[in-house]
Amino acid sequence: MTLGQKIAWDDTILPFQLDNADIRGRVARLDGVLDGILKQHDYPAPVEALVAEMALLTALIGQTIKLRWKLSLQVQSNGPVRMIATDYYAPEAEGEPARIRAYASFDPDRISGAPFDQVGEGYFAVLMDQGEGTTPYQGITPLTADGLSACAESYFAQSEQLPTRFSLSFGKSTEAGGQEHWRAGGVMLQHMPKASPFAQGGGSGEEGLLTATDVVDGDDAENWNRANMLLDTVDDLELIGPSVAPTDLLVRLFHEEAPRVFDMQPVRFGCTCSEERVRNSLSIYSAKDIEKMTTDEGVLTADCQFCGAHYRMDPSTLGFDAGNPPGDDG
């Protein structure tokens, strides 16, 4: 089997539980999802790697949200990569695929070095939208020097007091014919939640942030450390998994912890942009702003950063006369 062929567990998330350790987790494998995300932009290699990592984290974290909810991850930084934004749309109904989209905003003249060198000071944010009529949830943690996965781990320890660990692998593989193909895989471990927080004060992490080891003790700490030691033995090819099914990976790593799997969740690349949404987003601009956005041919254009869709609209159809809207004194 060549790496470019579709495999049964490509673009899936498998939730599991380690019954002997009171730990839950997910195994994610992304293939066509990453190609769908990354082919929309000509990202430099370090930016591409950051977007791939964020997409994989989004898949692993997003699988837990309820039907029709939306999970977003964001990185905002003063580095060469100014922003990375991802969205996970839960299925509309049981059995349907979830959808993921992602993009990055960056300064091409400043890109150099390793992927995380492109991220400066800033924050890592998790946003949860439960739908119309609800208040979105937002949690923020500072960016740390140890990478995006470490930022996500810090968020769960700090904001949710849930010990969490990610092990990820991603990159381009090359088929015999020479065609490059994106693959990614990862495992997320998370200790089952307790009834109440059990860590007080500052943590042992960077700038006093809580870490996973700060929020477990006793038997929980022993179970957590053992599961992490087992996960440390995984290699990149097992994570990416062209020849290792997620269930086989769990048996290899955690057979003594009695792994139990649940229904696999398929995921697809997908965007929710539409002309109607673009029109709604333009409603916050004044007539003068709209006029500046209009081309010499009298057309207003807009591009979706996530999927590359290109929209062309007549400014006069936006609900008012762009030259003289209601309430504009000129």
Residue 90: pLDDT over 60: yes
More confident residue, 302 or 192: 192
Q: What is the pLDDT of residues 42-85, one digit of tens each?
A: 899 999 999 999 999 999 999 988 888 999 999 999 999 999 99
Instruction: Give how far Cα 231 sits from Cα of 25, 186, 256, 271, Å.
Output: 12, 11, 13, 33
Q: What pLDDT is attached to residue 330? A: 35
Q: Which CATH superfamily is domain 12-269 in?
A: Hsp33 domain (3.55.30.10)
Buried b vs exposed e over 236-259: b needs ≥16 C-beta within 10 Å? eebbbbbebebeebbeebbeebeb
Rg, C-alpha atoms of the chain = 22
* Lowest-confidence region among 77-91, 171-185, 214-228: 171-185
CB atoms inside a 10 Å sphere around CB 154:
25
Mean of the pLDDT values across residues 105-129? 95
Q: What pLDDT is attached to residue 204? A: 64
Q: Which two tokens stand for residue 328?
A: 């504009």
Q: Rounded distance, CA 58 to CA 64, Å?
A: 11
Concatenated DSSP letters of 156-178: IIIII---EEEEEEEEEEE-TTS
> What single-letter DSSP state applies at residue 261?
E
Structural domain boundaries of the chain?
A: 12-269, 275-317
Taking all residues of the chain, what is their mean pLDDT, rounded to a whole number?
A: 85
Tell me whether strands 98-106 and 265-269 are parallel, antiparallel or unpaired: parallel
Q: Rounded distance, CA 199 to CA 231, Å?
A: 25
Q: What pLDDT is attached to residue 199? A: 47
The model's confidence at residue 201, banded by pLDDT at 50, 70 and 90, is: low
Q: Rounded distance, CA 54 to CA 73, Å?
A: 8
The model's confidence at residue 186, banded by pLDDT at 50, 70 and 90, is: very high
More confident residue, 242 or 122: 122
Q: What is the pLDDT of residues 224-276, one digit of tens each?
A: 999 999 999 999 999 997 789 999 999 999 999 999 999 999 999 987 776 77
* Lowest-confidence region among 82-96, 125-139, 274-288: 274-288
Q: What pLDDT is attached to residue 279? A: 76
Longest dimension (CA), the chain: 74
CB 115 within 8 A of CB 50: yes
Q: What is the pTM of this model?
A: 0.82
Tell me whether strands 23-30 and 70-77 are parallel, antiparallel or unpaired: unpaired
Q: Rounded distance, CA 106 to CA 108, Å?
A: 6
φ and ψ at residue 292, rounded to 5 degrees: -70, -30
* Lowest-confidence region among 68-77, 168-177, 319-328: 319-328
Q: What is the pLDDT of residues 270-322, one digit of tens each?
A: 877 767 777 777 766 777 777 777 888 888 777 777 776 676 878 877 764 43
* Lowest-confidence region among 83-87, 97-101, 115-119, 177-181: 177-181
Q: Rounded distance, CA 176 to CA 2, Å?
A: 7
Q: What pLDDT is attached to residue 177? A: 60
